[in-house]
Amino acid sequence: MNYARLRLRCFKSLFFLSLFLLAGLILQFSGTSLSPRMSAAEPEDTQAAYVSASAVKRADQTEHIMGVTAADCKKCHPSEVATWMKTVHFQSPELRLYKFDGNTKKYATAMGLTSAEMLGDSLCADCHGTKAVRDGQVKVISGVSCEKCHGAAGGEEGWLNRHQSYHASMPIPRAQETAAHRAARLEFCDQAGMRRSSNIYGLSKACFKCHLVGNEKLIAAGHKAASAFDFVSWTSGELKHNFLVDKTTNADAPSLWMERTGGKPEDRRRMKYVIGTLVQLETALRLRAQTTNPAVIPQISGVIAAANGQLTQMNALAPTSELQAVTALITPMFGTLFAPLPTDKETYSQAADKVGELARQFAEQHDGSKFASLDAMINRLPPHYSQQYQEKYLKK
Ligand code: HEC
Ligand code: HEC
Ligand code: HEC
Ligand code: HEC
């Protein structure tokens, strides 16, 4: 017992020593000053903007989805799981997949799906739940779960184990992790497809993958083409689960991100507002590129026009080269935005690539602290709750 304790002590002091040495080295090499805001642009935590294409792909691979229960997310994230279980994300399969009636039946039938097929590897289950491989088959295992937003955690190269391990062989507290270990750990997680809080671009992309519907046939059958979605409102209502540092307090911004970067909730809201709108525009442009049905085009083009309008307003209040470039690219397209043309595919996918690039650049170049002029716009965006949530938890 005593010996083990002593060994732990020695280890601990060695740790502190190496922490100081490493911190010194890192500062020397990066040549940065120690101003309090410096850490907000700390390279290790800036962005996965820049994660490899294979990481982006891995994040969405069904074979690497573990599931909340199998991965034991609840063991370490009890407050996050409890919050999630109240959301319509959690309930969606029950609302839309298990009961084969009403609009569910209408849309499924239009897509040629039977009730049983819907619960397998189906289009509906892509958005209304989480699919995973069980007994060699793809099945719906739950509602829209953690990994649909934060990236698939499983597989040999998955992020599950590494994301919470502060030392290669010993369980030590977060505060004692060396800077070098942390940098390597976060880099590993990013490249394994984990979408952490700092990855505003990646997280908002995950939302729009479901909240903008790309399937023309489904839309033609009556399914909504787009949610009335903005990334600020829709992450600050029933979705909000910022409990990492204090399990009893749902903070206004990711608590770990605030602790690590010194970022403030208002800075984060501004970044979420701009990047979220850029990603909405990028995603809608990508869908516009593949849409040919003249009855569906107006719904998608409407999203493009609205997002561009907002970005133009933002750029008037808080001008940046990125927003300037985006609106200069999109506004001239308005003449043909609503008309199907043979060149659409090329025009809109090139525009989407460019907007995506500018969104990632925006995420890298700014931290929100200088965009107070956007607050009047942002303050008009109230936290969003689903009907189900309001009825169950907000009405007295
Ligand atoms: C054994 C405990 C444990 C398990 C199991 C676990 N986590 Fe974590 N998780 C942690 C710890 C500790 C951190 C803080 C990591 C840090 O300091 O960077 C964390 C951080 C996170 C973060 C925030 C990372 C960031 O940098 O913003 C997310 C997202 C997350 N976990 C999701 C999950 C999901 C999803 C699951 C299940 C698939 C899961 N975790 C399972 C312990 C765990
Ligand atoms: C690309 C993602 C996506 C796909 C694919 C998808 N849905 Fe949806 N669905 C959504 C979203 C997002 C909403 C909520 C829209 C809102 O109100 O913001 C929704 C809402 C619904 C609703 C409730 C609203 C209504 O129109 O009655 C039903 C029912 C529904 N979907 C059924 C289906 C069925 C059945 C399928 C498969 C044939 C399907 N969905 C495929 C994303 C999707
Ligand atoms: C895997 C697909 C998927 C992803 C990813 C996803 N959502 Fe959803 N979300 C849905 C579906 C489907 C619904 C509608 C559920 C229903 O009514 O059946 C929904 C509903 C919601 C609602 C409730 C809306 C209402 O008025 O009913 C909020 C809020 C929400 N999503 C926010 C987000 C945010 C923010 C993100 C990204 C961080 C996100 N969602 C990512 C599929 C998804
Ligand atoms: C619909 C998408 C979505 C789902 C589902 C989701 N998250 Fe998140 N998560 C996010 C977003 C977006 C953020 C950043 C929130 C912000 O900016 O306020 C986040 C932040 C976090 C954080 C950081 C919180 C902090 O205080 O630093 C953790 C940890 C986390 N999520 C874990 C989980 C776990 C565990 C689950 C499943 C029970 C889960 N998330 C489900 C989108 C999601």
pLDDT at residue 285 is higher than 70: yes
Residues with Cβ within 8 Å of residue 392, at least 6 apart in sequence: 86
pLDDT at 114: 96
CA distances from 98 to 111, 225, 246, 378, 391 (A): 16, 22, 36, 38, 21
pLDDT of residue 51: 80
Provide, for the chain, the percentages of residues in helix, strand and coil under a 3-state DSSP scheme, each rounded to the nearest 5: 60, 5, 35
pLDDT at 49: 57
Q: What is the mean pLDDT of residues 332-361?
A: 95
**Tokens for 244?**
């990492």
Query: Is pLDDT at 20 greater than 90 in this prediction?
Result: no
What Å distances lie between residue 137 and 99, 176, 294, 326, 363, CA to CA?
Answer: 22, 43, 37, 43, 39
Confidence label for 85 from pLDDT (cuts 50, 70 and 90): very high
Q: Is the dihedral of CA 150, 152, 154, 157 positive or negative?
A: negative
Top mutation candidate among 117, 127, 229 for ligand 2, by most atoms within 8 Å of CB: 127
Residue pLDDT, tens place only, 202-220: 999 999 999 999 999 999 9
Question: Ligand 2 atom closest to Cα of 222?
Answer: 26
Measured from the CB, is residue 280 less than 6 Å from ligand 4?
A: no
Can you tell me the distance from the alpha carbon of 270 to that of 276, in angstroms, rounded to the nearest whole number? Answer: 10
Residue corresponding to tokens 């997949």: 97
| 340: pLDDT strictly greater than 60 | yes
Domains of the chain as residue ranges with CATH? 199-396 (1.20.120)
Looking at every residue in the chain, the average pLDDT score rounds to 89
pLDDT at position 36 is: 32
pLDDT value of position 78? 97
Nearest ligand atom owner, CA of 73: 1
Q: What is the CA radius of gyration of the chain?
A: 23
354: buried, middle or exposed (CB in 10 Å: 19+, 13-18, 0-12)?
Answer: middle
**Regarding predicted confidence, which is higher, 53 or 295?**
295
Residue 282: per-residue pLDDT: 97
Please check the confidence at residue 2 and state whether its pLDDT lies above 80.
no
Percent of the chain with pLDDT over 70: 87
Ligand 4: does its nearest atom lie under 6 Å from the Cβ of 254? yes
Residue 53 — very low, low, confident or very high, per pLDDT cuts 50/70/90? confident
Cβ-in-10-Å burial (0-12, 13-18, 19+) of 271 comes to buried
CA distance 10 to 16: 10
Q: Which atom of ligand 4 is nearest to the CA of 272?
A: 17
Summarize pLDDT for 220-250 with one digit per residue, the tens. Answer: 999 999 999 999 999 999 999 999 999 999 9
Token pair of 87, please? 């959301």
Distance 164 CA to ligand 1 centre (A): 6
- Of 15 and 388, the one with more pLDDT: 388
CA atoms of 145 and 127, how far apart (whole Å): 11
- Is the pLDDT at 19 greater than 80? The verdict is no
Percent of the chain whose pLDDT exceeds 90: 85
Classified as helix, coil or strand, 93 is helix
CA of 110 to the centre of ligand 1 (A): 40
Kindly list the distances between the CA atom of residue 386 and the CA atoms of 81, 101, 321, 344, in Å, as whole numbers in the listed order: 18, 21, 36, 35
State if residue 105 touches ligand 2 by the CB under 6 angstroms criterion: no
What is the predicted pLDDT for the residue at 43? 33
Give me the pLDDT at residue 246, please.
Answer: 96
What is the reported pLDDT for 34?
33
User: Would you state the pLDDT for residue 50?
Assistant: 62
Evaluate: CB of 203 within 6 angstroms of ligand 4: yes
pLDDT, tens only, 102-153: 999 999 999 999 999 999 999 999 999 999 999 999 999 999 999 999 999 9
> Contact, 326 vs 358, CB < 8 A?
yes
Most ligand 4 atoms within 8 A of CB, residue of 141, 197, 260, 378 to mutate? 197
Cα 92 to ligand 3 centre (Å): 9
Say whether pLDDT at 41 is over 70: no
Res. 38 pLDDT band, cuts 50 70 90: very low
Smallest CA separation from ligand 3 atom 43, residue: 210
Closest by CA to 44, choosing from 186, 192, 239, is 186
How many A from CA of 225 to the centre of ligand 1? 33
Rounded Cα–Cα distance for residues 149 and 165 (Å): 21
Q: At CA 71, angle to CA 68 and CA 74, rounded to 5?
A: 60
Best of 89, 94, 223 to mutate for ligand 2, by most ligand atoms within 8 A of CB? 223
Residues with CB under 6 A from ligand 3: 88-89, 92, 95-96, 127-128, 144, 148-149, 203, 206-207, 209-211, 234-235, 237-239, 384, 386-387
Band (pLDDT 50/70/90 cuts) for residue 13 is: very low
DSSP string, 243-280: -SS-TT---SS-HHHHHHH---HHHHHHHHHHHHHHHH
Return the best residue to mutate from 104, 107, 207, 391 for the ligand 3 pocket (most ligand atoms within 8 A of CB). 207
- Residue 190's Cα: distance from chain center in Å? 13
